[in-house]
Amino acid sequence: MMSREKWRTAQQLHTPPDIVDHGAMKKLSSMFSTLQEKLHRTKRSASDPGPLHTPAPGPPPARDRSHMGQLFFEYLLVVSLRKRRSEEGYEPHITYQFPKREVMGRLQREEEEKCMKAAHLFCFPEGINWAPLTEYSSETFSFVLTEVDGSRRNGYCRRLLPGGSGARVPEAYCIISSVACFGLFSKIFDEVEKRRQISKAMIYPFMQSLRESPLPAPGNTVRISSFIPEVGTEIISLTRPADSWLEHVDFGSLFRFLTDEELLLVFSATVMERRIIFISEELSTLSQVLHAVAALLYPFVWQHTFISIVPTVLIDVCAAPTPFLLGVQRNMLELLTDHSDLMIVDLSAGAETRFITRIGDEESLLPAKLRAGLLTSLSARTRDASTDELNRLVSEAFLSVFIKSVGHFSQHFKHRQFQKKSFLRAVEHKSHLSFVKLFIQTQMFDLFIQEEEMMPNPNGFFHRKVAEYQERKRKERMKAGWVRGVVV
């Protein structure tokens, strides 16, 4: 495992660790510092966020966001494609920004301009290869922009075909927000698209009302008043899920493309912090699947490069020698020339094989008992289960892997220092030991323990689940002992 000093240096340079001096990453840093995405560890608050600590935004930077945590969004961008002047193809550019840049200070404008450059590339990651279309199904996807200070903003994008007749190129509506809640912004885009069909002018009063409304607490609803010609004033209700830790995740996306056994292979590779690339034609598929896979790791957080949709200009990141989770559109598959030490998962409909390449030991990484327990838990889901029900079932199933294998970690701190040797000796099932020895070498486990050393959280969700499991096992042992006593 790399030194903590080297890891911090890599974070400061905004590049993946171990490749600070490599040419591919120099190219990324020099082009757009905000394009290199990493899931930095997020400090747990006293009111622990719950069982799915997914890639959530970090604390807002000091520059001018003192209230951004309470707002729905920071910017609405309209990104269009225009013909390149000297070459063939199209390039994305921002045709509208709300609120307008004129109301910002000079320094804020300069910093936000970097963000906008990154955002419009993620709205059209395919690059220049576009042709006018007469039909195009709108799609919604998301991405993450990481700031130099480690804070993150979420980009939500809906691409659609603008009104008119004849062949035309799509345009994208992009919302930049510190809030991680895909379902909520998907509903907001439904309202945006409905107004877009009438007139662009109808969009901005709605977004102004939204921006002036406070973000509701989990489980609460905010009502937005919006006027539409020939319809009148509408009241739009926007509700945040009660389980805030699940509001950016749709585990159903995993089962639409992967069997249970295939999902366990992906999970095993992810837990061991390997290099994993997902392939699909659909941007929405890539963003949903990558966020869902990262969420399976709770209470641990993916610490390495995470780009749910890799723009063409960043395809070199696929050659990085360090761990990553990447989403790549299928038309760029031929650009992936080096398949060594990679897991490439093809999510395309009708794919001949789900795994284009993998190392081959993924079946043996999880202990047999944990693997069997996972498959049993996942088989209990029903086809008519709601998103919330499915999310709960899946999160608890994968959480049990960490409860049973490393859940005893809190009993092995001495003077706020983690005691690795006593921790390993106390592994409950010796069949888990080889897995645990590998897992504790990962960056996600190391930083989890560092956080526990600095700020233990005995009332956190994971700690409570571990305590429940240990109490249940204690009662089972007592009952077994009582039965043996009666038999004797």
Question: What number of CA atoms fall less than 13 Å from residue 130's CA on the CB side?
Answer: 24
Answer with the residue of higher pLDDT: 202 or 437.
437
Q: How high is the pLDDT of residue 20?
A: 30
In whole angstroms, give the CA distance from residue 106 to residue 255.
Answer: 47
Question: Can you point out the beta strands (E) in 178-228?
Answer: 221-228
Cα–Cα distance measured from residue 6 to residue 9, given in angstroms and rounded to the nearest whole number: 5
Q: What are the tokens at 198? A: 């009438």
The answer, yes or no, to whether residue 17 has pLDDT greater than 70, is: no
pLDDT at 141 over 90: yes
Which pLDDT band holds residue 148 (cuts at 50, 70, 90)? low
Give per-residue pLDDT as tens, 21-71.
333 333 333 333 434 333 333 333 333 333 333 333 332 333 333 333 468
Lowest mean pLDDT, pick from 7-11, 461-465, 477-481: 7-11
pLDDT digits (tens, 9 = 90+) for 281-310: 999 999 999 999 999 999 999 989 899 999
pLDDT score at 447: 94
Range scoring the smallest mean pLDDT among 109-118, 154-163, 462-471: 109-118
Distance CA 331, CA 343 (A): 18
Instruction: Specify which residues 77 forms β-bridges with.
Output: 97, 174
CB 170 within 8 A of CB 95: no
Q: What number is the average pLDDT over the span 88-100?
A: 85
Instruction: Give the model confidence (pLDDT) of 343-397 as tens digits.
Output: 999 999 888 899 999 999 999 999 999 999 999 999 999 988 888 889 889 999 9
Report CA-CA distances (Å) from 169 to 26, 86, 91, 196, 436.
Answer: 33, 19, 11, 16, 51
Going by pLDDT thresholds of 50, 70 and 90, the confidence category of residue 138 is confident
- Dmax over CA atoms of the chain, in Å, equals 91
Token output for 140: 């919604």
Please list the residues that pair with 154 across neighbouring strands.
144, 177
ω into 299 cis (within 30 of 0)? yes
Count of beta carbons in the 10 Å neighbourhood of residue 265: 21
Segment among 18-32, 145-159, 440-454 with least mean pLDDT: 18-32
Cis before residue 99, ω within 30 degrees of 0? Answer: yes
Residue with tokens 């990558």: 290
Between 238 and 347, the more confident residue is 347
pLDDT recorded at residue 279: 97
CA distance 195 to 192: 5
